[in-house]
């Protein structure tokens, strides 16, 4: 390259590959213009070695006249001046001329090229038709001349000689030959590129391989590789060019890193020399030739090399349209330069690098702004903002260094420093001399005076902050704001500083960065102290004193600040900068001072009766580093009357813990937005004031809806305003206070006890906690969650509770009487008066003493005493022992509920003073127990009203009776069922008559005298009934038994009685039925008619027995001579077919033993032992109109029967009420004077005895065997 050094080569993008031209210069000159124009017109594909991707390029060339000195010598590394192609031009067409001159000329040219090893050449023969014509005769044919040239020079390389036909004519022939020529030239050029660049790259690689050998120089290598970059740039392959620079960059970086690791290369020596010049980057020229020259000479400093390299990279990146990469690389460059200088231990004047970085940042920004429009810039703020911020930072540190950020201005030492720094900047570069806003001028101005610095610095700061905000990098913006705050603080303007600090503090708080919060808060404290904002300063000091991020000394300092203020005497109005003369108390938030951990009530229910002692214990965790003496600690209490009565019982059902724990939300700096765990829910139950057991409403209340329902986007400022800047806390001077004086809060947990007021019944809510230290009141404005206690006033309450699950009637039962005294104090001589009830006597022996227990309100036994009881005829009087109020008196009473007589518990039994009975399902699934409710009236000393007390008793037994008959003989069966859950022992089962004068002989058929009857089991007892003389119309009997629980060892038996009555017990008729087989047969056969013969016999003569006439009621108006009976044969089993009439009337004479026989035809439908069909007998009462004409017919046809009764139907029990209904209609008609219908009257059970009940008859199968009936059931 050396020979060309003096040549003015302009290293711009106008560089083109060099092509030399020899031969006929006139010819070339005439063809130059079309050639230079047409060459780049069409693209060619450049196939690359080493597998690099092929590229399409437009070739251009710089055609120069051939000179021998242009040919590169051995070892020349210059590529930019390398001639890639040599052309020899000739338009010779005369063999003679050729032989005489041209041939020699070409040979010389060719020889020179060969000497220099250049194989990239071409001979162009231009042929004009004019020339051809002119020498037509003695001219060899054209082809011959070209052939000769080819023969002479192009040894097997025929393509090295090209013919251009009529180059200046516009003919198709000419265009064609031009095209061929251009194609050839392009191909050859590319071939030359590939070859020469390939060779160059190989050489370069070899050179790089030697980099670890001594004597290798980075600068030399730099120049070599840069040549390659130049060529690529020349070919407009900027990407490839950039790669060359990046490789150089990486290589250099690697060496610096190696140096740092202790592996120093010799060539790095010059780069380690002290930095004398810190002119920033200069990006306004494509190539900084000065720096390049310095690099070539090996004299460049690190900053120079880096600057030059970056400048080249920047140029290429901008060519590539990637300006944002420039900004990013610029930041990286500056960071790495600072690091590299440090690694290489290069001595740098303090502040020099700041200057360099500052100017470089501005220069890069200027360069970017120069190549982008405003919209692009706006859209890519995120790429440039880093440079702005970096420049701001550097200017700031320069300002601090040069004493430009102090209230007093720079000192002489700082001024000297400024001068040194300015000296290193040198003179302004010519490119920027005329620019008013050049980085050079800016820096010089900024360093020139305090005011100029402030102007420049603020301008930069605001620009950076605004950009950060615009792109949403709020944290970065806050950080810039913070450094602004520091600046203002240094300048003595705390007011402005605080604004920025508050912004930052709010964000740090909301994001939970405790260390940053602490740091910012410390700065805030300084601002507030300087501004004399006492309250805020105290609040901040409290926060700092409790801040665990600070050392204990710092915390003590802030705590001391608080105490100093607090203990300032009121009369000494010491004028101080930070404490203006205030005498009134300053209220600040307690949150940071101490935390309320828990509130504990004693008793733990937090419910007491009025006047009772209630202790409230606060657990406070002091966050101060030292013990703090509180003059007073007070809790203000809000009192509200409890609506809905003063019944303490009802409130106790609400579960309220006696200890309220407070969540530790405010100690850590975890932001409140997620420190809130969730809704805090409280269950609320509202009980009916009249009956505490009845719940009138229930609900759930959320205590912290304002937190849970808060809109999340409402911004951080609303969250914790009190922690950013203290707000004024209102001290609640409530009427009622819990107070203690002179408390010393030690660091950590403290427990302070108060005794709470409890005079008035109602609800007391703890509202506010206030600690007084001198002039300072530390206030916890709201105690949350809600802490409250209740004071109630209770009326005396008397209740009687059974000791067992159920009270059983008929047995002595114990019940507990419980007297809750409430506000009433039982005095000596007070007594309970129980009205005596006959059906429920008090069994506790009168005039006796028994024990009673006295419990306090927490159900703890406090005493035992004796009670006396006195019974008179009407009342039972129980004397009560003196009992204090709000205590419980308990004793037991034994009582017996008498079981009422009677078969079924009648619903209307005596309610006047005694028992109320009603049937209901008891808990037992099997049988309901009848219950008796006893009402006891008690007169209490505290009330003029009588207190009713209801006790419910269950009857353990259930009795049923039944009359059984056998012909004329009668039996009574009683069933006694134990429906209780207890097993009983029974004795003395007895049946007695209640009528006057025993007319009956009752003979017990029961063998056992004692009987065990288990729960849900029954006992049956039977008596044979005989009578002495008169047959009673009605039997009135009482069943009695003694019972005792089977579990008792020494049983005391108690009676159980069951009274019942039986009517119409005598047997009037007997009925005997017989089935007679068909004549001549021994047995019945199915399908064959047989006869049913009924024989009805009267047993009692009605004349003899008036009672019977009475008994039969309606029959008395009938003549007693003949009684009409109606029989009816029915078959419910379906085994018989009644043929002919199935019912009929018979008239019974009034004689004893009068007999009547009736025959009915039947047909058995099946064979086997068939039960007899049913025969029912009814009393037939003809209508009164026809009563005068007794039926003469002894038998009446069924069909002719004038009864509105369908006797074809089965007559069963169900028919009876139907008949009854008929009868009622009949009587109704009777009253209206209508027809008297005849009617049927059923007999009572036992009045007709059926001898054939349950009999069966054998029926043989039918003789006719061809039908076999199969019944499968």
Partner 1 sequence: MAVCIAVIAKENYPLYIRSVPTQNELKFHYTVHTSLDVVEEKISAVGKAMADQRELYLGLLYPTEDYKVYGYVTNSKMFRKLHNSFTDVMCNPFYNPGDTIQSKAFDGMVSAMMVQAS
Among 479, 676, 731, 1038, binds partner 1 (CB under 8 A): 479
Minimum CB separation from partner 1 for residue 678, in Å? 13
Q: Which is nearer to partner 1, 332 or 904 (CB)?
A: 332
Kindly report the CA angle at 1142 between 1139 and 1146, in degrees rounded to 5? 135
Among 64, 115, 415, 515, binds partner 1 (CB under 8 A): 515
Residues 371-390 interacting with partner 1 (rule: CB under 8 A): 382
Quote the CA–CA distance of 626 and 135 in Å, as a whole number. Answer: 122
Q: Which is nearer to partner 1, 477 or 778 (CB)?
A: 477
Minimum CB separation from partner 1 for residue 347, in Å? 18
Q: Which is nearer to partner 1, 218 or 356 (CB)?
A: 356
Nearest to 821 by CA among 893, 890, 892, 883: 883
| Pattern 301-340, partner 1, x by CB under 8 A | ------------------------------xx-xx--xx-
Nearest to 592 by CA among 636, 555, 540: 540
Residue 551 contacts partner 1 per CB under 8 A: no
Kindly report the CA angle at 1186 between 1180 and 1189, in degrees rounded to 5? 100
Q: Which is nearer to partner 1, 493 or 511 (CB)?
A: 511
Minimum CB separation from partner 1 for residue 476, in Å? 5
Q: Which is nearer to partner 1, 288 or 354 (CB)?
A: 354
Minimum CB separation from partner 1 for residue 382, in Å? 7
Q: Which is nearer to partner 1, 49 or 668 (CB)?
A: 668
Residue 830 contacts partner 1 per CB under 8 A: no
Residues 125-184 interacting with partner 1 (rule: CB under 8 A): none
Question: Chain centroid to CA 999: how far?
Answer: 87
Q: Which is nearer to partner 1, 394 or 961 (CB)?
A: 394
Please report which helix (H) or strand (E) contains residue 402, including its range: none
Residue 287 contacts partner 1 per CB under 8 A: no
Alpha-carbon distances, residue 10 vs 239, 309, 563, 764 (angstroms) = 22, 19, 78, 96
Residue 473 contacts partner 1 per CB under 8 A: yes
Please report which helix (H) or strand (E) contains residue 801, including its range: strand 797-802
Minimum CB separation from partner 1 for residue 474, in Å? 7
Q: Which is nearer to partner 1, 550 or 1019 (CB)?
A: 550
10 Å Cβ neighbour count for 863?
Answer: 14
Q: Which is nearer to partner 1, 257 or 265 (CB)?
A: 257
Minimum CB separation from partner 1 for residue 680, in Å? 18
**DSSP conformation class of 663:** -
**DSSP conformation class of 847:** T
Among 113, 229, 516, 780, binds partner 1 (CB under 8 A): 516
Q: Which is nearer to partner 1, 613 or 677 (CB)?
A: 677
Among 88, 508, 1023, 1056, binds partner 1 (CB under 8 A): 508
Quote the CA–CA distance of 108 and 111 in Å, as a whole number. Answer: 5
Q: Which two tokens stand for residue 800?
A: 């009687």
Q: Which is nearer to partner 1, 512 or 928 (CB)?
A: 512
The beta strands (E) that lie in 83-218 are given as 83-90, 121-127, 161-165
611 burial (CB, 10 Å; 0-12 / 13-18 / 19+) is: middle
Q: Which is nearer to partner 1, 280 or 645 (CB)?
A: 280
10 Å Cβ neighbour count for 967?
Answer: 10
Q: Which is nearer to partner 1, 353 or 607 (CB)?
A: 353
Among 298, 512, 716, 1261, binds partner 1 (CB under 8 A): 512
Q: Which is nearer to partner 1, 671 or 689 (CB)?
A: 671
Quote the CA–CA distance of 314 and 303 in Å, as a whole number. Answer: 16
Quote the CA–CA distance of 822 and 838 in Å, as a whole number. Answer: 32
What is the phi/psi pair of residue 943, to 5°? -140, 145
Q: Which is nearer to partner 1, 352 or 972 (CB)?
A: 352
CB-based contacts of 48, cutoff 8 Å, min separation 6: 54, 55, 194
Residue 472 contacts partner 1 per CB under 8 A: yes
Minimum CB separation from partner 1 for residue 257, in Å? 14
Quote the CA–CA distance of 377 and 395 in Å, as a whole number. Answer: 23
**DSSP conformation class of 676:** -
Minimum CB separation from partner 1 for residue 652, in Å? 35
Handedness of CA 1036, 1041, 1042, 1044 (dihedral sign): negative
Quote the CA–CA distance of 1020 and 959 in Å, as a whole number. Answer: 10
Minimum CB separation from partner 1 for residue 675, in Å? 9
Structure-token match 């006195």, residue found:
870
- How many residues bind partner 1 (CB under 8 A)? The answer is 27
Quote the CA–CA distance of 1062 and 1037 in Å, as a whole number. Answer: 8
Q: Which is nearer to partner 1, 305 or 389 (CB)?
A: 389
Would you state the torsion angle of the CA atoms of residues 180, 186, 189, 192, taken in this order, to the nearest 10 degrees?
A: -80
Alpha-carbon distances, residue 1119 vs 482, 484, 733, 1189, 1194 (angstroms) = 131, 135, 108, 11, 16
Minimum CB separation from partner 1 for residue 780, in Å? 25
| Pattern 333-372, partner 1, x by CB under 8 A | -xx--xx---------------------------------
Among 62, 673, 879, 1015, binds partner 1 (CB under 8 A): 673
Q: Which is nearer to partner 1, 231 or 480 (CB)?
A: 480
Binding region for partner 1 (CB under 8 A) out of 121-129, 464-472, 566-574, 806-814? 464-472
Residues 852 and 891: beta-carbon distance below 8 Å: yes
Binding region for partner 1 (CB under 8 A) out of 467-475, 861-869, 980-988, 1191-1199? 467-475
Sheet-wide strand order for 1248-1250: 1136-1139, 1155-1164, 1090-1098, 1069-1076, 1248-1250
Handedness of CA 1180, 1185, 1186, 1188 (dihedral sign): positive
Residues 110 and 23: beta-carbon distance below 8 Å: no
| Pattern 256-285, partner 1, x by CB under 8 A | ------------------------------
Helix runs in 426-582, H state only? 439-448, 450-470, 474-490, 494-511, 514-531, 534-545, 552-566
Binding region for partner 1 (CB under 8 A) out of 107-115, 472-480, 540-548, 577-585? 472-480
Minimum CB separation from partner 1 for residue 492, in Å? 24
Residues 741-800 interacting with partner 1 (rule: CB under 8 A): none
Minimum CB separation from partner 1 for residue 473, in Å? 4
Residue 444 contacts partner 1 per CB under 8 A: no
The CB-based long-range contact list for 128-136 (8 Å cut-off, 24+ gap) reads 128/91, 128/166, 128/167, 128/168, 129/166, 129/169, 131/91, 131/93, 132/93, 135/93, 135/94
Q: Which is nearer to partner 1, 432 or 673 (CB)?
A: 673
Quote the CA–CA distance of 15 and 4 in Å, as a whole number. Answer: 15
Residue 397 contacts partner 1 per CB under 8 A: no
Residues 601-620 interacting with partner 1 (rule: CB under 8 A): none
| Pattern 1041-1070, partner 1, x by CB under 8 A | ------------------------------
Report the interface residues with partner 1, using CB under 8 A.
331-332, 334-335, 338-339, 382, 468, 471-476, 479, 508, 511-513, 515-516, 519, 668, 670-671, 673-674
């Amino acid at each position: 390259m050396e020979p060309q050094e003096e040549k003015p080569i302009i290293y711009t993008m106008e560089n083109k590959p060099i092509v030399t031209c020899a031969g006929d210069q006139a010819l070339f000159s005439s063809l130059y213009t079309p050639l230079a124009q047409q060459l780049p017109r069409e693209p060619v594909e450049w196939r690359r070695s080493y597998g690099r991707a092929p590229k399409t390029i437009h070739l251009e060339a710089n055609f120069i006249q051939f000179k021998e000195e242009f040919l590169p010598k051995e070892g020349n590394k210059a590529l930019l001046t390398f001639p890639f192609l040599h052309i020899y031009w000739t338009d010779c067409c005369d063999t003679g001329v050729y032989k005489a001159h041209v041939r020699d000329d070409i040979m010389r040219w060719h020889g020179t090229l060969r000497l220099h090893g250049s194989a990239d050449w071409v001979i162009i023969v231009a042929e004009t038709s004019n020339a051809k014509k002119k020498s037509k005769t003695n001219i060899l044919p054209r082809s011959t001349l070209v052939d000769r040239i080819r023969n002479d020079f192009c040894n097997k390389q025929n393509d090295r000689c090209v013919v251009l036909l009529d180059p200046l004519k516009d003919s198709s022939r000419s265009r064609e030959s031009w095209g061929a020529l251009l194609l050839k030239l392009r191909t050859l050029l590319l071939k030359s590129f590939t070859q020469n660049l390939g060779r160059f790259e190989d050489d370069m690689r070899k050179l790089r391989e030697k980099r670890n050998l001594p004597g290798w120089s980075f600068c030399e290598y730099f120049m070599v590789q840069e040549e390659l970059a130049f060529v690529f740039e020349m070919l407009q392959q900027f990407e490839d060019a950039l790669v060359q620079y990046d490789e150089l960059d990486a290589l250099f970086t690697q060496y610096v890193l190696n140096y740092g690791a202790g592996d120093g290369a010799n060539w790095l020596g010059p780069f380690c020399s002290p930095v004398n010049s810190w002119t920033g980057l200069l990006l306004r020229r494509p190539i900084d030739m000065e720096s390049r020259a310095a690099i070539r000479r090996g004299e460049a400093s690190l900053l120079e090399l880096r600057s030059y390299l970056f400048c080249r990279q920047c140029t290429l990146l901008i060519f590539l349209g990637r300006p944002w990469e420039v900004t990013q690389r610029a930041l990286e460059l500056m960071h790495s330069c600072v690091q590299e200088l440090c690694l290489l231990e290069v001595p740098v004047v303090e502040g020099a690098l700041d200057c360099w970085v500052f100017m470089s940042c501005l220069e890069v920004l200027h360069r970017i702004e120069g190549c982008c429009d405003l919209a692009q810039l706006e859209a890519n703020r995120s790429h440039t903002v880093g440079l702005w911020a970096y420049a701001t930072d550097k200017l700031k540190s320069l300002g601090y260094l040069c004493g430009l950020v102090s209230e007093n201005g720079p000192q002489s030492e700082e001024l000297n420093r400024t001068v040194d720094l300015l000296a290193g900047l040198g003179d302004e570069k010519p490119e920027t001399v005329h620019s008013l806003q050049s980085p050079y001028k800016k820096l010089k101005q900024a360093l020139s005076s305090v005011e100029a610095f402030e102007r420049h610095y603020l301008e930069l700061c605001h620009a950076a902050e605004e950009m950060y905000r615009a792109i949403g990098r709020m944290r970065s913006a806050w950080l810039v704001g913070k450094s602004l705050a520091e600046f203002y603080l240094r300048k003595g303007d705390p007011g402005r500083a605080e604004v920025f600090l508050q912004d930052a503090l709010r964000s740090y708080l909301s994001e939970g960065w405790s260390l940053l919060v602490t740091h910012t808060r410390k700065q805030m404290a300084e601002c507030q102290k300087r501004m004399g904002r006492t309250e805020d300063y105290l609040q901040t000091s409290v926060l700092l004193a409790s801040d665990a991020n600070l050392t204990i000394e710092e915390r003590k300092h802030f705590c001391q600040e608080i105490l100093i203020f607090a203990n300032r005497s009121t009369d000494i109005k010491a004028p101080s900068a930070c404490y203006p003369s205030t005498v009134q108390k300053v209220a600040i938030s307690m949150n940071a001072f101490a935390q309320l951990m828990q509130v504990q009530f004693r008793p733990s229910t937090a419910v007491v009766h009025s006047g009772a002692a209630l202790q409230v214990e606060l657990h406070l965790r002091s966050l101060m580093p030292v013990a703090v003496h509180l003059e007073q600690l007070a809790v203000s209490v809000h009192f509200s009357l409890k609506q809905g009565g003063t019944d303490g019982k009802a409130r106790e059902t609400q579960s309220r813990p006696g200890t309220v724990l407070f969540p530790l939300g405010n100690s850590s700096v975890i932001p409140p937005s997620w420190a809130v765990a969730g809704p805090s829910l409280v269950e609320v139950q509202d009980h009916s004031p009249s009956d505490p057991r009845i719940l009138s409403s229930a609900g759930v209340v959320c205590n912290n809806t304002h937190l849970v329902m808060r809109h999340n986007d409402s911004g951080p400022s609303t969250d914790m305003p009190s922690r950013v800047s203290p707000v004024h806390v209102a001290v609640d001077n409530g009427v009622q206070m819990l107070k203690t004086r002179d408390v010393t809060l030690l660091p950590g947990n403290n427990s302070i006890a108060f005794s709470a007021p409890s005079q008035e019944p109602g609800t007391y809510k703890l509202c506010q906690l206030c600690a007084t230290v001198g002039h300072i009141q530390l206030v916890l404005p709201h105690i949350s969650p809600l802490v409250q206690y209740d004071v109630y006033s209770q009326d005396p309450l008397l209740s009687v509770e059974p000791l067992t699950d159920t009270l059983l009637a008929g047995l002595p039962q114990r019940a507990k009487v419980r007297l809750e005294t409430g506000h009433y104090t039982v005095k000596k001589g007070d007594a309970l008066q129980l009205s005596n009830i006959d059906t429920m006597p008090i069994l506790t022996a009168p005039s006796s003493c028994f024990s009673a227990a006295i419990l306090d309100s927490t159900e703890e036994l406090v005493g035992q005493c004796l009670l006396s009881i006195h019974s008179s005829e009407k009342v039972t009087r129980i004397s009560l022992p003196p009992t204090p109020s709000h205590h419980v008196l308990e004793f037991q009473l034994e009582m017996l509920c008498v079981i009422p007589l009677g078969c079924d518990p009648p619903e209307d039994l005596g309610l006047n003073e005694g028992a109320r009975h009603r049937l209901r399902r008891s808990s037992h699934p099997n049988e309901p127990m009848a219950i008796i409710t006893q009402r006891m009236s008690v007169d209490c000393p505290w009330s003029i009203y009588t207190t009713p007390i209801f006790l419910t008793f269950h009857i353990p037994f259930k009795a049923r009776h039944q009359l059984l008959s056998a012909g004329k003989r009668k039996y009574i069966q009683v069933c006694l069922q134990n429906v209780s859950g207890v097993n009983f022992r029974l004795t003395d089962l007895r049946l007695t008559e209640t009528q006057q004068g025993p007319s009956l002989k009752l003979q017990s058929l029961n063998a056992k005298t004692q009987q065990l009857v288990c729960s849900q089991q029954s006992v049956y007892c039977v008596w044979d009934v005989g009578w002495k003389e008169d047959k009673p119309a009605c039997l009135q009997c009482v069943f009695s038994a003694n019972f005792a629980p089977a579990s008792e060892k020494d049983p005391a038996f108690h009676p159980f009685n069951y009274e019942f009555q039986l009517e119409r017990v005598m047997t009037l008729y007997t009925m005997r039925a017989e089935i007679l087989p068909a004549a001549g047969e021994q047995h019945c056969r199915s399908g064959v008619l047989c006869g049913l013969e009924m024989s009805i016999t009267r047993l009692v003569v009605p004349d003899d027995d008036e009672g019977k006439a009475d008994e039969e009621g309606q029959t008395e108006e009938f003549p007693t001579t003949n009684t009409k009976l109606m029989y009816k044969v029915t078959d419910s089993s379906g085994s018989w077919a009644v043929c002919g009439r199935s019912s009929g009337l018979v008239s019974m004479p009034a004689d004893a033993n009068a007999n009547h026989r009736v025959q009915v035809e039947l047909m058995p439908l099946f064979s086997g032992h068939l039960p007899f069909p049913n025969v029912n007998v009814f009393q037939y009462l003809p209508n009164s109109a026809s009563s005068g004409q007794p039926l003469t017919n002894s038998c009446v046809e069924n069909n002719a029967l004038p009864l509105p009764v369908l006797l074809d139907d089965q007559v069963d029990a169900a028919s009876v009420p139907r008949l009854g209904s008929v009868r009622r209609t009949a009587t109704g008609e009777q009253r209206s004077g209508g027809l008297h219908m005849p009617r049927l009257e059923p007999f009572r059970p036992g009045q007709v005895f059926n001898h054939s009940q349950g009999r069966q008859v054998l029926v043989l199968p039918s003789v006719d065997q061809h039908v076999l009936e199969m019944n499968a059931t």
